[in-house]
Amino acid sequence: MPILLDTTKAPVLQRLLDETDTSGLTWTIEPGGAQALPSAEVVVAGIANLEHAGPQELSFVANPRYQSQLIDARAAVVLVTAEVAQAYRESLSQAGRAEQALPLVVCNSPYLLFARIGQWFDRQLHPQPAGSIHPSAVVAPDASVDPSAHVGPLAVIEAGAQIGPRARIGAGCVVGEGCRVGADTVLHPRVTLYRGVSMGARCVVLSGAVIGDDGFGFAPDPSRAKGAWTKIPQFGGVRIGDDVEIGANTTIDRGALDDTVIGNGVKIDNQIMIGHNCRIGDHTAMAACVGIAGSTTIGQRCSIGGAAMIGGHLKIGDDVFISAATPVHSNIDKPGQYTGFFPMTEHAQWERNAVAVRHLATMAKRIKALEKK
């Protein structure tokens, strides 16, 4: 739970909301009951979940299922929908406790507002470091590092690389030859960008991610030996848009000839594999351990559940939701949710089910034959 270290600098609620990005949101402050502080005097020194929020902390209720917890909450203020606010007031009134009502911020999307307020606290707790290059960093003479950017210890910035305004390059990062890192982009420690990677503005890359490594490209070469392979050089790059987040230990391969492309606003979780020449559309999100084989195109606003496996050279349209652990072997043209996994069961039952699945094709033929009769 983030708490401002110096509570004397904690903002009152109105100031906090004024300094928070509330674009696209509608909100109003509803004062508390007679025993609550006036809204203008409510100090917010931290944020927390509803169960643990104390009298100087802000919390939220986004799901009506949890509104019952609100009646005994001790938070300084709670973000709620209009429906939850009404139910809360009615519950307190029925219990004869109307004077104990907490101040509320009634918002059309409490969870989003909570996220934006969380960003405000993050900026206070982790302010942007001043532009500097650590003495142990290695920066090529022809690399360009904006004066407002920060380059951490033992980082390497290779020839021709460009580091944009206010970018942060963490300790031990490698930014390869000819790479471009956009404004306000953050590379956490030990991120590796191979040559020719282009990243937009406001991206976040977590530790251990590798972007622009060689794709898995090999040609059969029986001239060397039976079953032998010859490597296909990977000449393409990786182009990443604005506002992209890439999780820890994720790998994104460079293209063989054309670039691998990651659109604006894409969110990629930890330990994900994206093969060469893939194209990921704007605002698509994928959970941990997804694997996407080479030359597959995924549309905009898709959601891909954890450990889903997507084959190569496929096309997946916009607004597709692929459930966790689903294998995808063919194109998906229509929006909607797609699921293709066997639910867990006891092993003996699973074996019986597996036997039945093996005979489905034969059973289908027999049914068709019976239908003809």
Catalytic residue status for 276: yes
Q: Do 250 and 209 meet the contact criterion of CB atoms below 8 Å apart?
A: yes
**Cα dihedral angle (340, 344, 347, 351), rounded to 10 degrees?**
-20
Residues contacting residue 127 through CB under 8 Å, at least 6 positions apart: none
CA distance 151 to 154: 9
C-alpha of 212 from chain center:
20
CA distance 313 to 36: 61
Q: Do 171 and 187 meet the contact criterion of CB atoms below 8 Å apart?
A: no
Residues contacting residue 365 through CB under 8 Å, at least 6 positions apart: none
Single-letter amino acid code for the residue at 191: V
**Which of the following is catalytic: 150, 276, 329, 359?**
276
Pick from 24, 80, 20, 28: which is nearest to 50 by CA?
Answer: 80
Question: In sequence order, what DSSP letters do the residues of 270-339 get, joined into one string?
Answer: SS-EE-TT-EE-TT-EE-TT-EE-TT-EE-TT-EE-TT-EE-SS-EE-TTEEE-TT-EE-S-B-S-EEE-
Q: Do 329 and 293 meet the contact criterion of CB atoms below 8 Å apart?
A: no
Residues tagged active-site? 276
